[in-house]
Amino acid sequence: MFWQIDLLISTLVIICGIGALTVKDLLGAGILFGAYSFMMCLLWAVMGAVDVAFTEASVGAGVSTVFFIAAVFRTSRETKD
């Protein structure tokens, strides 16, 4: 196990998670959530759970990001900040 890769991906997961929570723009949050899912997918693959990684890549990073964006597309901006 390469601990450097592990550390890098774990850091990116946390950064993407915090970013998705704090960013004001909903579209940006959706895309950051997709990035988070993709990093989780890499983490599963590094840990050897290839089936879970595949599911995460197709469901988490793929289709659910599209769902988020489709839902964000139907919202309107209320505040000006």
**2, 20, 30, 37, 41 from 66: Cα distances, Å:** 32, 15, 9, 13, 17
Question: Binders of other proteins among 40-69, rule CB under 8 A?
Answer: 47, 50-51, 53-55, 58-59, 62-63, 66-67, 69
Q: Rounded to an integer, what distance in angstroms lies between the CA atom of residue 65 and that of residue 63? A: 5
Of residues 2, 28, 32, 38, the one with CA closest to residue 16: 32
Is position 21 an interface residue for other proteins (rule: CB under 8 A)?
A: no
Please pick, from the candidates 2, 3, 74, 81, the single residue that binds other proteins as defined by CB under 8 A.
74
Tell me whether residue 39 or residue 53 sits nearer to other proteins (CB atom).
Answer: 53
Binding stretches for other proteins (CB under 8 A): 1, 47, 50-51, 53-55, 58-59, 62-63, 66-67, 69-71, 73-74
